């Protein structure tokens, strides 16, 4: 993992995961340096990752007051329980469904939970965070937010894109990716992560982007995209190509066997 700042108030904890045949998927978490500091998602839980150690290079975990879990998929919860232990005053912001999903493996302590639904808001001292449902998502518990002090949008999985190298996936500005390449990667991600978009009514779907369009955030921070500053109109334009998109279909068993054979050790 690496870290970099986006403006004076936000630090990105950047990571990525290689997915064969797709690319390197960014997996970001964030620290919002508010009066009551907020950690947004907690990264991967793989054995070679140490989210808490990376976070400690940015902020004393004991100072964290809020953990905004944009949804409880495993690529968002890797360091959650270690952080709860290290941050005794922190509460997890999630939804009723998010708590339910977590309870199937490692239940959240309910006295550490703060339930917040799309359309509701939370003061974190020097700013208010306004919760919304992003246009694209892969989990019904997904809730992003707008920071009313900086104008930043935290969009969870929405606007994500697999990129061709780990360096690009963890770069500090997605403007390093050519515009057409980025659009193609974002549409690929939509077909992978939100296959339900094939069936939606285009007008009703595009209306779900109204909160982002109205807020007109200067910066969009997605879990699965390098920081995007000054690109909101382009991100919204990409959404117009999503309805009717053919869902991604992964390799089948025959393809898996071919891959395994290709990597099998040869005769000695």
Task: Look at residue 142 in the predicted model and tell me its pLDDT.
Answer: 98
Question: Is the CATH number 3.40.30.10 carried by domain 2-261?
Answer: no
Q: pTM for the whole thing? A: 0.94
Task: Look at residue 267 in the predicted model and tell me its pLDDT.
Answer: 63
> Taking the domains of the chain in order of start, what are their residue ranges?
2-261
Task: Look at residue 244 in the predicted model and tell me its pLDDT.
Answer: 92
The residue assigned the tokens 């982007």 is: 209
CB distance 14 to 166 below 8 Å: no
Contacts of 133 (CB under 8 A, 6+ apart): 118, 142, 143, 144, 208, 211
Task: Look at residue 266 in the predicted model and tell me its pLDDT.
Answer: 66
Q: Is 172 exposed, middle or buried (0-12, 13-18, 19+ CB in 10 A)?
A: middle
Nearest-angstrom CA–CA distance, 62 and 147: 22
Q: Which residue numbers in the chain have pLDDT < 70?
A: 266-268
In the numeric block, which tokens belong to residue 21?
A: 């045949």
Q: How many CB atoms lie within 10 A of CB 3?
A: 16
Q: Which helix (H) or strand (E) holds 40?
A: strand 38-40
Task: Look at residue 145 in the predicted model and tell me its pLDDT.
Answer: 98
Task: Look at residue 214 in the predicted model and tell me its pLDDT.
Answer: 95
- Provide the b/e sequence for 111-146 (b: ≥16 CB within 10 Å): eebeebeeeeebebeebebbbbbbbbbbbebbbbbb
> Would strands 23-26 and 29-32 be described as parallel, antiparallel, or unpaired?
unpaired
């Amino acid at each position: 993992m690496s870290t970099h700042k986006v403006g004076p108030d936000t630090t990105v904890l950047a990571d990525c995961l290689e997915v064969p045949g797709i690319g390197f998927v960014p997996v970001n978490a964030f620290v919002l340096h508010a009066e009551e500091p907020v950690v947004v998602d907690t990264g991967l839980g793989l054995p070679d990752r140490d989210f808490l150690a990376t976070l400690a290079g940015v902020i004393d975990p004991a100072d964290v007051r809020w953990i905004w879990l944009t949804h409880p998929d495993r690529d968002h919860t890797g360091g959650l329980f270690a952080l709860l232990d290290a941050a005794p005053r922190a509460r997890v912001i999630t939804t009723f469904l998010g708590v339910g999903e977590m309870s199937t493996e490692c239940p959240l302590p309910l006295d550490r939970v703060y339930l917040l639904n799309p359309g509701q808001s939370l003061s974190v001292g020097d700013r208010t965070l306004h919760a919304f449902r992003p246009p694209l998502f892969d989990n019904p518990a997904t809730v992003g937010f707008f920071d009313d002090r900086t104008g930043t949008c935290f969009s969870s999985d929405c606007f994500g894109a697999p990129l061709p190298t780990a360096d690009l996936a963890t770069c500090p500005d997605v403007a390093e990716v050519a515009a057409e390449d980025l659009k193609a990667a974002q549409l690929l991600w939509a077909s992978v992560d939100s296959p339900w978009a094939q069936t939606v009514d285009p007008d009703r779907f595009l209306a779900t982007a109204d909160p982002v369009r109205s807020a007109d955030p200067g910066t969009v921070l997605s879990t699965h995209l390098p920081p995007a500053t000054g690109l909101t109109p382009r991100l919204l334009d990409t959404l117009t190509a999503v309805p009717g998109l053919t869902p991604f279909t992964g390799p089948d068993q025959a393809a898996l066997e071919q891959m395994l054979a290709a990597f099998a050790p040869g005769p000695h």
